Chain A
Amino acid sequence: MSRARFVLAELATGLRRNVSMTVAVIIVTFVSLTFVAAAALTQMQIGNLKDDWYDKVEVSIFLCPSDSSVPTCADGEVTAAQRDEILAVLNSDSVAPYIDTVYTESKQEAYDALQEQMAGTVWAESVTVDLMQMSFRVKLKDPEQYQVVADAVAGRPGVDSVRDQRQILEPLFVILQRATLLSAGLAAVMIIAAVLLITTTIRLSALSRRRETGIMRLVGASNLFIQLPFMIEGALAATVGSLLALGALYFGVRYLIEDWLANSLQWANLVTTDDVLAIAPWLVLIAIALAAFSSAVALSRYTRV
């Protein structure tokens, strides 16, 4: 169709006239979207780890052994009555809704577990069943609700200490969260730069073709028709930038994470190139939205009918 051919010809002229600016737009979108995607992938990684580990983590209520210095253990080893009382608290209406299961680990079981984990070390050889602690292993419906359980049982007679395994993981999540924030912050700065640059590029392009657009307006070309080549110019550059970002992430994840990190961190469920592909459409969409927004700003003043 002659209309499409015409737009394409105009587009080619525009791109040729603005090669260096177009390249700059491509680079800025490339970098900004890389940071956007890095933030997204880190969030996905956090999600993965939480899914994995929160299933396994439990709140451990350690009961008094025979020789504890904790005040609640002043009476010596936990009694059967105290145990029942603690269990009753866990089964009470205010606490039970948060709890999935409660498992009672006996001293013998704790001993066996230790022997298995520490087999061959001085620890395993020096310890006896009697030195071990009995505990309730509480699995929560929502691992974030640890405090409810802790508050209910901590300080009761017979309770030595309450420990939340989640707390061991928390520093890692904090690091990942901060990485996300850093990445998102850099992305925001780069996106501002991208918008400004795309706006300037389109504006320059429109200025350099003032003559043509002036005539178009006079002979009654529609607004869309006049603006389309410029919009496509911006969208095209931004899309190329987003594809470069995707390429960089794909290979980054492929070689750094899948091939290298995954080998040394086999216990963790790491992000994969599939995740990169999953966010790919969004990245391209963001690029196009950026370009569309910038064109709207740039063109509202320069090619208005």
Chain B
Amino acid sequence: MIRFQNVSKVYARGARAAVDRVTLDVERGEFLFLVGSSGSGKSTCLRLALREERPTGGKIFVAGRDLSTLRQWKVPHLRRQIGVVFQDFRLLPNKTVFDNVAFALQVLGKPRHHIMTTVPETLDLVGLDGKGKRYPHELSGGEQQRVAIARAFVNRPAILLADEPTGNLDPATSVGIMRLLDRINRTGTTIVMATHDDEIVDQMRKRVVELADGAIVRDQSRGVYGAAR
């Protein structure tokens, strides 16, 4: 589903590589944790897969597309197959929960009847049924992240990229979010999650890829956060 072939990213000429010759294969339906200390290049990897950044070396394939030859005007088509969730939720404060989620479909020009059925369905899935009329500031952090996940998933993307989705949440709330991501993963969605949260990684027992200074230093199925000691 996502394949990195010897991918490097150097932001500024002369700077050290943020991503250093990474080769990685993520299968369809896989759940992968990207771990590593701050500045190890996790977010950069996710941005490369979204084609928000272009690699300075190597090739990236996402959902069967070669990103190096993908035309600029086709980038939106790529992004429709990828949902993204961030640590800071990135909700629109002046829109209700329902409208925040509907926004993702509206801007793709989806018909009204489709929006009216899909959005409640998705809110239901993320555990927010009945909260559609609330505004983001009327929700807890965990609930806000659920809205963000609903928005990322409402178009049923094949891939979900999550950059520290539990970074702003307490452990109990984080567990809830992880259950939700696991449920989404079970629908066949490939998930790549960058995180610092060792408890979660240890609990989930999914594939773990560890980066250090931009390079992969560990790739372990059913792994834990710290290296196996």
Contact = CB atoms under 8 A, between A and B. Distances in A.
A211 B107 contact: no
Given A2-B106, A6-B107, A211-B90, A221 B112 contact: no
B92 A221 contact: no
A211 B94 CA distance: 11
Contact of A223 (B73, B92, B111): B73
Interface residues of A, number: 19
Interface string B80-118: 111110000010100000000001101111111001000
A226 B79 CA distance: 14
A217 B76 CA distance: 7
A75 to B, nearest CB: 87
Contact of B77 (A2, A211, A220): A220
A218 B76 contact: no
A2 B112 contact: yes
Interface string A69-86: 000000000000000000
B121 to A, nearest CB: 17
Contacts, number: 61
B3 interface: no
Nearest to B75: A305
B149 to A, nearest CB: 13
Contact of A220 (B72, B76, B103, B112): B76
A220 B79 contact: yes
Interface string A206-221: 0000011011111111
A101 interface: no
From B79, B80, B103, B107, name the one whose CB has the most chain A CB atoms within 10 angstroms.
B107
A2 B115 contact: yes
Contacts of A219: 79-80, 83, 103-104, 107-108, 151-152, 155
A213 B76 CA distance: 13
A217 B77 CA distance: 11
A218 B79 contact: yes
B78 interface: yes
A231 to B, nearest CB: 16
A212 B92 contact: yes
A225 B109 contact: yes
Contacts of A6: 106-107, 109
A214 B90 contact: yes
Contact of A3 (B50, B73, B90, B109): B109
A38 B90 CA distance: 51
Contact of B109 (A2, A214, A226): A2
B84 A218 contact: yes
B194 to A, nearest CB: 16
A225 to B, nearest CB: 6
A220 B110 contact: no
Contacts of A226: 107
Among A1, A2, A223, residue most surrounded by chain B Cβ atoms (within 10 Å): A2
A221 B107 contact: yes
Given A220-B78, A221-B76, 13 more contacts: A2-B106, A2-B109, A2-B110, A2-B112, A6-B109, A215-B104, A215-B151, A219-B79, A219-B104, A220-B81, A226-B107, A305-B75, A305-B76
14 contacts: A1-B111, A2-B109, A2-B110, A2-B115, A3-B109, A6-B107, A6-B109, A212-B92, A216-B107, A219-B104, A219-B108, A221-B108, A305-B75, A305-B76
